[in-house]
């Protein structure tokens, strides 16, 4: 399963594609989509949408994970990040790709164990967990890889919980069958 993380931005939109085999993460690809400040907004949005569609066609991810933006001090930046985020979500949905969102703090907690970790700490852990020689550049690509890894980590946890829950249900059912329903008779 390929999972694509998207660190949304209109000027720089990071992407990272990761797969996992057991506890081993592997980078499939990463980079940054860019649009020029010299182009008017509608054209920049159209360019980004086309680039995102091309990425989804090239990598064919099973899941796309987009950073959820909660707060930006700069309103102008918040608007452009929101627009890029909307494009990433909409184009993935239009491709029939499962979409998830995580906040920056959720990603930091998943990758480093600290929801308030610095960008440098996240980059160090992404580099280490992916077995890379150095952090991907620019940081938008690193953040996108972290988003994909966050989803894979959460998925692994969810799969473990499901298996554990199913074992408990199976055990109770076996016990009930073994006791020949005596518990039910005792309760009545």
β-bridge mates for residue 29, sequence order: 17
Q: Rounded CA gap, 39 and 176, in Å?
A: 69
Q: Is 67 a catalytic residue?
A: yes
From the candidates 140, 143, 170, 173, give the one annotated as an active-site residue: 140
How remote is the C-alpha of 151 from its chain's centroid?
A: 4
51 catalytic per annotation: no
C-alpha distances in angstroms, 134 versus 104, 137, 144, 148?
A: 22, 9, 15, 18
Q: Which two tokens stand for residue 116?
A: 């308030």
Alpha helices in 113-138 (DSSP H): 119-130
Residue 28 and residue 59 in contact, taking contact as beta carbons nearer than 8 Å: yes
Residue 48 to residue 39: CA distance in whole angstroms: 12
End-to-end CA distance of the chain: 49
Catalytic one of 38, 40, 51, 67:
67
Catalytic-residue membership of 57? no
- Strand pairing of 12-21 and 24-34? antiparallel
Catalytic residue, from 7, 40, 58, 170: name it. 7
Q: Are 102 and 152 in contact (CB under 8 A)?
A: no
Query: What are the residue numbers of the active site?
Result: 7, 67, 140
């Amino acid at each position: 399963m390929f999972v694509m993380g998207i660190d949304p931005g209109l000027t720089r939109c990071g992407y990272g594609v990761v797969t996992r085999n057991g506890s081993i993460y592997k980078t499939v690809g990463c980079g940054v989509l860019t649009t020029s400040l010299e182009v008017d907004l509608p054209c920049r949005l159209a360019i980004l949408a086309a680039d995102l569609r091309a990425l989804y066609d090239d990598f064919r991810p099973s899941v796309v994970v987009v950073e959820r933006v909660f707060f930006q001090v700069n309103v102008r930046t918040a608007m452009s990040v929101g627009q890029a985020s909307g494009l990433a979500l909409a184009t993935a949905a239009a491709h029939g790709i499962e979409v998830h969102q995580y906040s920056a703090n959720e990603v930091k907690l998943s990758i480093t164990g600290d929801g308030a970790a610095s960008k440098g700490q996240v980059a160090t852990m992404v580099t280490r967990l992916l077995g890379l020689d150095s952090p991907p550049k620019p940081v938008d690509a690193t953040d996108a890889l972290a988003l994909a890894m966050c989803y894979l980590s959460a998925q692994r946890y969810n799969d473990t919980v499901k298996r554990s829950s199913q074992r408990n249900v199976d055990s109770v059912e076996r016990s009930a069958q073994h006791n020949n329903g005596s518990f039910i008779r005792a309760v009545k």
